[in-house]
Chain A
């Protein structure tokens, strides 16, 4: 039975993941999102070598990674997906050279270490920040994902809102690092949102379903894993994937 404060953080992290994922999936950056989360690994590796908090290392690496994506999106017309694929797969490789054994497994898939008080508090503040931004900027993000030109003429600062969104994405990945790890946190952002896209007809519906599934599988993982003698993260993601496949059968007619 996990501690209540840890559960609160896990639920807030899942809410943030559902909201960020909804926009990421609607922006058609499903693959990119998964790759961005991999860039956390060299940061974790560096933190382990230099003996500071791996979550901070991950966050720093993610910030650099998202700034890179933002600049590439802004400056060039070459397909972002290709660059993201190459740069971030390389990041994964570099990261795995820097960390090893148990530490690497924890960084990739999440570990069972207890969270410190400061880490908990920062995590909760971070999650609330992401949730507040996603709700506040929802309209701007939606118009920008339909058309950047329409957003611009509507008075949306497109580059700024894109940057904050990517930073929110990075922060969400960092939040999930302790619970799910680098590889699985990308999945908690994308799978519930991809499932919601199959089922929802409206924006509100999409966000509600994505958040509902993300929170549901996170809690189910947290409670079921100890009984099964497994880690919570992988259990949550397997559940999310099962919900996704069921949603394919239930998908709304186009």
Chain B
């Protein structure tokens, strides 16, 4: 199995505050890594270091020819920004050198109507905008997708359908998936490997090993209501 990403001894420091300390892990090509942890554990910081938006110490090695699709946690868009979904996707097509037909393909992949894509992006609902961001990430045929809380602000049926969408897209395109999530039930179901970040120590392993009641309690410092599927009861 070839590695899509190798991270060795990654540390990120803001002033005196060391947010990430000597983090090492790898992601195999075509696999899904879920990153969990309490607020302030450095999940988004990790992503921003991986895409080169933050200075860091240590090594971040992407496989040769890696193309990254990134879906950020939230974007602050003015409601009256005169920019339609088509403008936004068209700009990406222009930068990545894709044919304009790609736009229709990615919109179909995320089930977003042409009528919605023609509206200014500031007027879209949370779920519609989220799908547009996923479509944007899919342009340029990425080999790795990074999702920062892809379902924050999306209702529960919407959450399920976004995760199902990731799985279908991953099957169709074979990209590696890194996702930050608080939805432990969905993480359990979809991730191959779980990386848990906390202020004390990081841990990594398959969901069945990492997502135990005891581990979660250590990580979050409080009891976490989570029932894994081995006990047959999904919930969060």
Contacts and interface: CB of A to CB of B under 8 A. Distances in A.
Interface of A: 26, 28, 138-140, 142-143, 146-150, 152-156, 196-198, 200-206, 254
A153 B68 contact: yes
The 6 closest A-B pairs by CB, nearest first: A139-B91, A139-B94, A200-B82, A153-B70, A206-B82, A203-B87
Interface in B111-163: 119-123, 136, 140, 146
Contacts of B122: 254
Q: A26, A150, A198: which has the most chain B beta carbons within 10 Å?
A: A150
Contact of A138 (B68, B91, B92, B140): B91
A28 B69 CA distance: 26
A153 B133 CA distance: 13
Contacts of A198: 80
Contacts of B121: 146
Nearest to B78: A28
A205 B82 contact: yes
A150 B95 contact: no
Given A139-B91, A146-B75, A154 B96 contact: yes
Interface residues of B, number: 34
B90 interface: yes
Main secondary structure of the interface of B (DSSP, over half): mixed
B84 A146 contact: no
Contacts of B136: 150
Given A142-B87, A202-B120, A203-B83, A154 B95 contact: yes
Contacts, number: 79
Nearest to A22: B82
Nearest to A200: B82
B75 A26 contact: no
Contacts of A201: 82, 84, 119-120
24 contacts: A26-B82, A26-B83, A138-B91, A138-B94, A139-B91, A140-B91, A142-B87, A142-B88, A149-B72, A150-B70, A152-B51, A153-B68, A153-B70, A153-B146, A155-B140, A197-B80, A198-B80, A201-B84, A201-B120, A202-B82, A202-B84, A203-B83, A204-B87, A254-B80
Interface of B: 48, 51-53, 68-70, 72, 75, 77-84, 86-88, 90-92, 94-96, 119-123, 136, 140, 146
Given A153-B70, A155-B95, A155-B96, A203 B82 contact: yes
B91 A26 contact: no
Given A138-B91, A139-B90, 11 more contacts: A26-B81, A140-B95, A142-B83, A142-B91, A154-B95, A155-B95, A201-B82, A201-B84, A201-B120, A202-B86, A206-B82
Contacts of A254: 79-80, 122-123
Contacts of A138: 91, 94
A146 B83 contact: yes
Contact of B92 (A143, A152, A200, A206): A143
Contacts of A155: 95-96, 140
Nearest to A252: B80
